[in-house]
């Protein structure tokens, strides 16, 4: 059994990490750029 205690993995750019996930793992992969822009400019007018 692998010790994986990740809920969320941030990556920079294209990746295939989600293809490595096996049951019962539930971690998610998110792009740094998308969350950075959302959080950095949240509440400002575009």
Residue 11 pLDDT: 95
Long-range CB pairs of 7-10 (<8 Å, 24+ gap) are: 10/35
Average pLDDT over residues 23-42: 91
CA 14 to the chain's CA centroid: 11
Mean per-residue pLDDT over the chain, rounded = 86
- Residue 1 within a domain: no
* SS3 state of residue 17: helix
Q: Is the pTM of this model over 0.85?
A: no
Residue 17 and residue 15: Cα distance in Å, rounded? 6
Using an 8 Å Cβ cutoff, are 26 and 8 in contact?
no
In a domain, 32, yes or no: yes
Domain ranges, residue 26: 8-40
Tens-digit pLDDT profile for residues 5-18: 889 999 999 999 98
- CA-nearest of 6, 1, 4, 2 to 27 is 6
Using pLDDT thresholds of 50, 70 and 90, give the confidence band for residue 25.
confident
Q: Is residue 46 part of a domain?
A: no
């Amino acid at each position: 059994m692998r010790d994986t205690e990740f809920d969320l993995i941030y990556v920079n750019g294209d990746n295939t990490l989600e293809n490595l996930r096996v049951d019962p793992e539930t971690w998610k992969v998110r792009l740094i750029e998308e969350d950075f822009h959302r959080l950095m400019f949240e509440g400002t007018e575009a």
